[in-house]
Amino acid sequence: MQRPDHAFILAAGKGTRLRPYTDTMPKPMVAVDGQALIDHALDHLAGAGVRHVTINTHYMADKLENHLSQRLAPPTLMFSREETLLDTGGGIKKALSTMGDRPFFAVSGDGFWTDSSEDTALSRLCRAWDEETMDILLLLQPLSRMVLTRGVGDYDLTPDGRAIRSLDKKGAYMWTSIRLCRPGIFNDTPDDAFSFLELMDRAQSQGRLYGLVHDADWHHISTPEDLDRVAESLAAPRPRDTGT
């Protein structure tokens, strides 16, 4: 597929479980490995060729918008401020006109992931995308690789790559909140708050929800303890390649 040049970052939530860090800043500004979470996400998007990013804001919106005003890449950052929180689906729909008419990335502003040495997650999503069969393509993290933070078994995968939600949360994969999706999935949806999960369930019922297994690390940072464990792991000395 033609690489998406638009993306949406969900950054409006209050992050109450990460207090006391979020008493003074929005969760996407909390630092991991010396940089705000949302800056890590924007670096990934810029590296994937995304040029236009829309970010929804609500909690401490001025602080987050001022922080991001210093960035040079991606070249265009737009803000969609929500006076009332619109949830994960309504927030994107409010700003859908800024996404263009082609598939776009949507990611969480508080997510933290790494890429393998061979390729990036966003590039792999682009290569896996099939316009004829997919409405939404999810990046999924195997629970077996979630060591530092708690994993939840959101999904299983069929042999042909379709994602099936595990209602009892005993699936093999956790959804990373990183996705590639068509703008048309928002047709016939409410104009107020609703969850993106409703769109995923609808795509699944139509056989058009697919998943791609991430081949590196993704961390679900919800609590101060999660943050501490991830920070300690990143600060630990890496073994050096001796060439032998």
Is pTM, for the whole model, over 0.85?
A: yes
Per DSSP, 85 falls in state: -
pLDDT band at 220 (very low <50, low <70, confident <90, very high): confident
pLDDT band at 94 (very low <50, low <70, confident <90, very high): very high
Looking at the predicted structure, is the pLDDT value of residue 240 above 60?
A: no
Tokens of 36: 């705000």
> Which pairing describes strands 6-10 and 52-57: parallel, antiparallel, or unpaired?
parallel
Q: Residue 118 has what pLDDT?
A: 82
Q: Residue 237 has what pLDDT?
A: 66
Q: What is the mean pLDDT of residues 103-130?
A: 93
48-71 pLDDT, tens digit per residue, is: 999 999 999 999 999 999 999 988
Q: Residue 222 has what pLDDT?
A: 87
Rounded Cα distance, 189 and 53, in Å: 22
CATH for 6-235 is 3.90.550.10
Name which of 48, 25, 82, 23 is nearest 180 in CA terms: 48
Q: What is the mean pLDDT of residues 179-191?
A: 96
User: CA 107 → CA 111, 138, 158, 175, 182, distances in Å?
Assistant: 8, 10, 24, 11, 14
Average confidence score pLDDT of the chain: 93
Looking at the predicted structure, is the pLDDT value of residue 136 above 50?
A: yes
Rounded Cα distance, 5 and 7, in Å: 7
In the chain, pLDDT over 90 holds for what percent of residues? 80
Q: Which of 37-41, 128-132, 152-156, 238-242 has the lowest mean pLDDT?
A: 238-242
- The domain locations on the chain are 6-235
Helices (H), 70-120: 87-94
Q: Residue 149 has what pLDDT?
A: 85
In the chain, pLDDT over 70 holds for what percent of residues? 96
Q: Residue 234 has what pLDDT?
A: 85
> Using only C-alpha atoms, what is the Rg of the chain?
17
